Structure 1
Amino acid sequence: MSIPLPLGMPPSREEPRGLVEALLSGRYATLGDVPARPGPADAPPIVPASALTERPARDIVAELDASAAAPEPARWRPVRYQLTCAVADLDDVLAFTAPAPLAVYVTDVDDSALAATAQALTDAGHIPGLAVGHGVDAIADFLSVLAHATTGYVARVADADGALALLGATAAALSGFDVREAVVAPDPGRLVRLVPEATDALREILLAVEVDDPGVVARDLAVRGLVTR
């Protein structure tokens, strides 16, 4: 599987990507709130599209209001757009077009429909979002869809434990290990031992993890040995 060019990433790299390199996204109200110097684990920050009144100096994820019209093409585009919707609005979102890839979180989807919703989003060319709060079986079924999709997925978690669980679970989904066990008891040692090709494959699926404080989560992951190479 290769990373789609519209995500703004090269299809190949001279150096292997670290496991948490550019993994963690923070959410900011304005461009002025975005840290001037991103750390190695910092992914493009999330900023409301309505606050992007000028071209950003760095890559940005633009969050859309689901009730607003689709954005018009401009002289620049974000790494991706992102929106949150309800199940009742999913059909409209599936037909939604934007001038950059679109990640979608469905707020009220229950565990039994999580995988089917992810499948519908990937079939439409959108990037499914996995929010914290779903059960282990639902996460495993979700990842069984994403392991065979070309879109990748994004996630929201509360802390480093949540990020570690998704890293472990995604690795397990790609390698045939027990995904449910990886969610409940992720093994940092196994992740650190991944060969560069496996790390790249994992990160082609897990595009970014949204957290409240990327710096704190990065430090917590570094303590567990999950540092960028």
Structure 2
Amino acid sequence: METRIAEIASGIYRLSTFVPQIAPPAGFTFNQFLVLGDEPLLFHAGLRRMFPLVREAVARLVPPERLRWIGFGHYEADESGAVNEWLAMAPHAEAAHGHTGCLVSLNDMADRTPRMLADGEVIDLGAGRRLRWIDTPHIPHGWDAGVLFEEASGTLLCGDLFTQIGDGPALTEADVVGPAIAAEDLFGFSSLNPGMGATIRRLAALSPRTLALMHGPSFAGDGAAALRALADDYDRRFQAAMN
């Protein structure tokens, strides 16, 4: 395996590792996102077994020991598995996550006390780079779930939202909603609940210009329209499940 690097928005780099053994024959990507600034942030710590690959990719962009923040959408192996490896490598780094994730997992599991983020709280990386934490409980799964929105570039670091299979381009303007619907049909990974549509439409109100997917290509275009279409599909699924 190798971890490939691509700049998907100004100063935001996608670090992508393709694993053909998952969901064959299409395979599956695991993506981290490095956001540069005076205090660089890595979104998704990644799996522990992938740590050497991702560390090498980060080192091609910035000395790993300079990392200041380690974020992720929810506490799960592919999102947070290597958090302590990163904390050991970067002596000034802190994990940053929402209240629920810190209280139920990170306060105990992280080797250093994490920064607990309130809904809407901003991490200022310097150099004009600000990331806003937004709580999205149970969406797509995990009661501690949330996303980060990079305000300067309009990039939504959306975690498992829009998950799709395959090894597409690093950045696409093609449809990401249809492939996400197909992946939901295949995996059934989302926690269907009556608030899904409303929560996702709240993200659409940000009008993101780039959607940074953890599993699949990043999307450049009308992120609000894509989020509204995804919300409509989850509303449909919930209503079908209730009937």
Task: Output the TM-score relative to the length of structure 1.
Answer: 0.31
Which fold has the larger relative contact order, with Cα–Cα distance below 8 Å and residues 6 or more apart in sequence? 1
Q: If each structure's strand is expressed as a fraction of its own residues, which one has the higher value? A: 2
Q: If each structure's helix is expressed as a fraction of its own residues, which one has the higher value? A: 1
Task: Output the TM-score relative to the length of structure 2.
Answer: 0.30
